[in-house]
Structure 1
Amino acid sequence: MMTLQNELLAAISWAAQQGWTPATGGNFSARTEAGYLVTASGRDKTRIQADDLLVCNLGGKMLEGNGTPSAESDLHAALYRLDPTIHCVLHTHTVASTVLSRRFPQGIKLSGFEMQKALAGNVTHDATITLPVVPNSQDMQELAEHVRNGWPMPWGFLVSGHGIYAVGDSIASCRRHLEAIEFLLTCVLEESRWS
């Protein structure tokens, strides 16, 4: 049986293999009884190992591990405090999410895409849904406030000019949300080339 740690490491490795963690970017976490497991700052996600994960409490304080949590670890903590149904946060940096979040700072509308059904609560491609975009800030308290103001965001959100924060009630659902969001954003970006 796969442990939480191994499942998180597999999700990180998978995201890195997609090219979604350039220049050691991105951070990844999963809720635990003590708080959450999170990637240490500056680690190469293509070579992720167990000792690259830290244990933090829900206040963001490191309890175990070698290294330091990234500043964005505080946003993970804020998400876990905000919504007890969140059990995983996967944050990546992709071209589509970076470009489109700058182009559509009020949110990215999606309609007619079959892949919308991969996002929890969606049962038809006919619905129009919006991927939320929040303003970027280097101040994690300010960024967390932007997220709180836009909540609920059941699949996650984009940070303008930054990337995707996918959330889920399990690592598997979070992976599905991340993959679906990235696929949908790539479709929108491709369509924009033809309009």
Structure 2
Amino acid sequence: MIVPNTETLQADLLAAISWAAQQGWTPATGGNFSARTEAGYLVTASGRDKTRIQADDLLLCNLDGKVLEGNSKPSAESNLHAALYRLDASINCVLHTHTVASTVLSRRFPEGIELSGFEMQKALQGNVTHDATISLPVVPNSQDMEELAEQVRSGWPMPWGFLVAGHGIYAVGDSIASCRRHLEAIEFLLACVLEESRWS
């Protein structure tokens, strides 16, 4: 897949970040977002209010996580984004959010969250029926990004992304559009699972 030019990527990534923030998925400056470029990847700077995101809140880094353009510090989890881009050449976007459903359910089901019978499963790449049983992977949390990246590598492939226990979702996709679709579908499915848990 050809990577779009940096200007187009920047505009599309800013739109995706703003969209996620409008859903309430980036509380207290939480979350981080990136898109692959020819030189590496664009990623959000640390501590930025995602509801007020602007072009100068994005940094250009190489695939080793070194800042090539921009004067701010990258997100603490920028190195995990870099690790994902190095791990799988088909990943062109990573969107990371913090929501109640993803945080609670990733703690409740540390071995993974099983999904079956939901029509929205078909929004996840490779799924064509609600009848399938699929699992959203959950990896243990760590402040050490290399340790966290190793947890992800050991469980790969994770075609739509994964949850970090007590933390949130990392959605991946081969484009910003597909990554947004995966993120929105996963958030919807997790909200359904959380709602169903109240019945039992």
Alignment of 1:66-85 (within 5 A): 66-85=71-90
Shift of 1:66: 2.4
Shift of 1:71: 1.7
In 2, the alpha carbon distance for the partners of 1:52 and 1:70 equals: 10
- What is the aligned partner in structure 1 of residue 180 from structure 2? 175
Quick check: 1:58 aligned with 2:63? yes
* 2:101 alignment partner, SS class: helix
Alignment of 1:44-123 (within 5 A): 44-123=49-128
- What is the aligned partner in structure 1 of residue 30 from structure 2? 25
Gaps of 5+ in 1: none
Could you list the structure 1 runs, at least 4 aligned residues long, displaced by more than 4 angstroms after superposition. Answer: none
Q: Deviations over 1:139-163 (max 9, x none)?
A: 0000000000000000000000000
Count of residues paired in the alignment: 195
* 1:194 alignment partner, SS class: coil
* 2:59 alignment partner, SS class: strand
TM-score (norm 1): 0.99
* 1:78 alignment partner, SS class: helix
| Identity between Structure 1 and Structure 2 (%) | 89
Shift of 1:25: 0.2
In 2, the alpha carbon distance for the partners of 1:101 and 1:177 equals: 17
- What is the aligned partner in structure 2 of residue 125 from structure 1? 130
**For 2:21, which of 12, 16, 19 is the aligned residue?**
16
Q: Deviations over 1:3-59 (max 9, x none)?
A: 110000000000000000000000000000000000000000000000000000000
